[in-house]
Chain A
């Protein structure tokens, strides 16, 4: 099983994530990144159904389910190489930097095998990628 420690995220996908983020402001945008062998090939925009959308995100579970099924059908894999799991999960921070918050770190326990991609609408650098394992944030490269 290939273990990817950096994420290949082509410019067009970064732009698409950023556009989703800008268009969702002041709410946080969220979605999935699908691909294989550490190379992202598409993003899946999801609905944020959190109560407090400017400060939190909660991906609609039926969107998530549909996305996971399509990833399985397409043979797409997560960072560990497992089929049918998201390569990455993205969301935006409207008022803070592109770094996982304590809430992000806690909630990441449910999806430990994906890259976490954050974009910031207020800070530079505008994008960051991480693995979050056992409460620890590990910055990873973006190519």
Chain B
């Protein structure tokens, strides 16, 4: 079983050491007048730019520890988002080949980032979307044993990374005074893992999803209509909230103007939900901002 110490040991002296240990920032202005304190955990501070660096690292180290990766292996996953960047970063440092399955697209920026880290891409039929990329990854993994399909939607190392790093960091950074954690649901690894670490310590877990199947919040899932990740379980959260794309975008503007924090709609949506909680309840609320940079705006 992976432990935080073991992972730390494996990556000592490399940029991967910088994964995790992200800052907690008090949102002074946004939460003015609220009953609770609102703190944002800035996952954009990770070297790959997002919270995905954590499960990206843990899934690869887990595969190494399980002896699933040899010299001929190729790490594989279906993703065009932040997980792809995280895996590309980790595999570059660990010296593994990486193949990312993603739907074909015009925008070259993500392709460029992945290739800059040395990843190879297989571009799938755009009409089949992410599901098409997932099917292709499964097909490749079944046919050729060199592929190590890490599968972020089903891999227990994903929530484990959060259970053993993100959760404990929040506890330590708040001296045990955290009362609520608010996070969006994408693969659900963050919510599932943090719940495992902190619910037993009396922390309330708030999971946030988009309010509509057709939404503009990148990285999040409207669970009732989406392909359900194997790792997700609604019962890990005490409260389920939804946010609209409208509230998400409005809050991203406030975060930039009032707190100097750049994030995309998922960060805005999480903070919008957390602010609603902060207005109702007392305590110390930590909200996860998964990614963000000035390019978001």
Contact = CB atoms under 8 A, between A and B. Distances in A.
**A-B interaction:** yes
B104 A95 contact: yes
Interface in A48-101: 93-99, 101
Contacts of A33: none
Chain B CB within 10 Å, residue with most, of A97, A123, A126, A141:
A141
B216 interface: yes
Interface residues of A, number: 32
A96 B212 contact: no
A142 B126 contact: no
Interface residues of B, number: 28
A6 B250 contact: yes
A119 B215 CA distance: 10
Given A140-B249, A142-B246, A26 B127 contact: yes
B118 to A, nearest CB: 24
19 contacts: A6-B246, A7-B246, A11-B213, A11-B214, A95-B103, A96-B126, A97-B107, A101-B106, A121-B126, A122-B104, A122-B126, A124-B129, A124-B218, A127-B214, A127-B245, A139-B249, A142-B245, A143-B245, A143-B247
Interface of B: 80, 103-107, 126-130, 212-220, 244-250, 265
Chain A to chain B: the 10 pairs with minimum beta-carbon distance, closest first: A141-B246, A122-B126, A143-B246, A95-B126, A142-B245, A96-B106, A14-B214, A141-B249, A122-B103, A6-B246
